[in-house]
Amino acid sequence: MAEIALRLYENKYFLVAMVLFIIGFHTMLTHSNLIKKVIGMNIMDTAIFLLFVSVGYIEGGVAPIIEPGVEQVYVNPLPTVLILTGIVVAVSVTAFALSLIVKLYESYGTIDAEEIMRIRSTEL
């Protein structure tokens, strides 16, 4: 039991990323407001970015910008490059989801997801 706690303390960045993922998932499932669901999706995206970027860390390493004349140990640059593309995809999905919410509000008059389902089930 003590060694499990020690392993969890050594990998604390991964543990925090998993806890953030659970929090974002709970936000997306529980609330019925559509904007809160979009915020929960953004929290889940942030947790995955943290998990990927913290995998490439080397102890005693600095950021991978070459300084002329100094020999240093650099951090692994590959996971950071993957996440740069991922951030742009997350922003694009959020932008499209928000524009869909604007059109839903103009059509039904409410943002509550259960209200919209009730209106759609009673109209013809």
Partner 1 sequence: MEDVIIRFISRIIVPFIQVYGLYVILHGHLTPGGSFSGGAVLGSSMILFALSFNLERGAKKLTHDASTVLECGGILWFTVLGLYGIFAGANFLTNQGAGFNLGVPGQAVSGGIIMLVTIGLGLKVASTVITLFYSLIEVEGDSHG
Partner 2 sequence: MMRTVLILLLLALIGFTLVSTVVEMPTFGHPDNPTNNELSQGFIDNAKEETGAMNIIASILVDYRAFDTLGEATVLFVAIAAALSTLKAH
Pair 71, 31: CB distance under 8 Å: no
Pair 67, 51: CB distance under 8 Å: no
Rg (CA), the chain: 21
The reply to whether 35 sits near partner 2 by the rule CB under 8 A is: no
Distances 87 to 37, 90, 91, 101, 118 between C-alpha atoms, Å: 18, 5, 6, 21, 35
Taking CB under 8 A as the criterion, the residue among 55, 62, 98, 117 binding partner 1 is 98
Question: Burial level of 24, CB count in 10 A (0-12/13-18/19+)?
Answer: buried
The reply to whether 78 sits near partner 1 by the rule CB under 8 A is: no
The reply to whether 65 sits near partner 1 by the rule CB under 8 A is: yes
The reply to whether 68 sits near partner 1 by the rule CB under 8 A is: yes
Site map for partner 2, 84-123, x if CB under 8 A?
Answer: xx--xx--xx-xx--xx-xx--------------------
Pair 17, 50: CB distance under 8 Å: yes
The reply to whether 84 sits near partner 1 by the rule CB under 8 A is: yes
Using CB under 8 A as the criterion, which residues of the chain lie in contact with partner 2 when the complex forms? 4, 7-8, 10-15, 18, 21-22, 25-26, 29-30, 54-59, 64-66, 74, 76-81, 84-85, 88-89, 92-93, 95-96, 99-100, 102-103
Using CB under 8 A as the criterion, which residues of the chain lie in contact with partner 1 when the complex forms? 63, 65, 68, 84, 87-88, 95, 98-99, 102
